[in-house]
Amino acid sequence: MLEKCHNAQERWGGVSDIIDNWLEERRKLISFFVSLPQQNVQETLNDKIQEFCQLMMDYISSGHFEVYEQLLKQGSEFNDGSLEKAQALFPKIQASTDAALDFNDIYSGFEGVTLQEMYELTCQLSSLGEALEERFSLEDTMIEILHTAHREQVFAEAQA
């Protein structure tokens, strides 16, 4: 996941401040996610899970209420079908949003200490990781469709 995030930052970095900030939030979220299994259960795991939930909710909110809107606005300026292609991705992205919200509802106040709770957390983290990886891929596709596809056209118009 981190490598894919790095590739996305390299590919679309500098294109837009909103996208740059959002991809940086993604990198932080992924870094935090992959560090969770190494947390000391007795000392810091509860705090780390809560912090992770906050990062995840911030990332998802930024996507839905800033980045997607900006990308859709850019896509609507062109009548080439890209807007419709991008909008078709939203139901797939929504599945990961639902998974993240469910995880947050369950674990944002996590105070687990039993082996059963730890096992359930491990299973939920695994499922969430898969959902987030799919989400990031779909978001990258949306950026590709709505932003990068028109970059050459915008550049050509600016040169004219």
Mean pLDDT of 6-25: 69
Sequence spans of domains, the chain: 2-159
Q: pLDDT at position 4, please? A: 57
Radius of gyration of the chain, Cα coordinates, nearest whole angstrom: 18
What is the pTM (predicted TM-score) of this model?
A: 0.77
- Lookup result for tokens 């930052």: 9
CB 82 within 8 A of CB 145: yes
User: How many other C-beta atoms can be found within 10 angstroms of the C-beta atom of residue 93?
Assistant: 20
Give the count of alpha carbons within 13 A of 111, CB side only: 1
- Rounded CA-CA distance 106/117 in Å is 11
pLDDT above 90: residue 156 = no
Answer whether 160's CB lies under 8 Å from 25's CB.
Answer: no
How does pLDDT run across 35-78, given as a tens digit for each residue? 887 777 666 788 889 999 999 999 999 998 888 888 888 777 77
Is the torsion defined by CA of 124, 88, 55, 148 positive or negative? Answer: positive
Question: What is the pLDDT at residue 41?
Answer: 67
**Which whole number is the average pLDDT over 108-129?**
87
pLDDT digits (tens, 9 = 90+) for 86-111: 889 999 999 999 999 999 999 988 87
Domain 2-159 has CATH 1.20.120.1370: yes
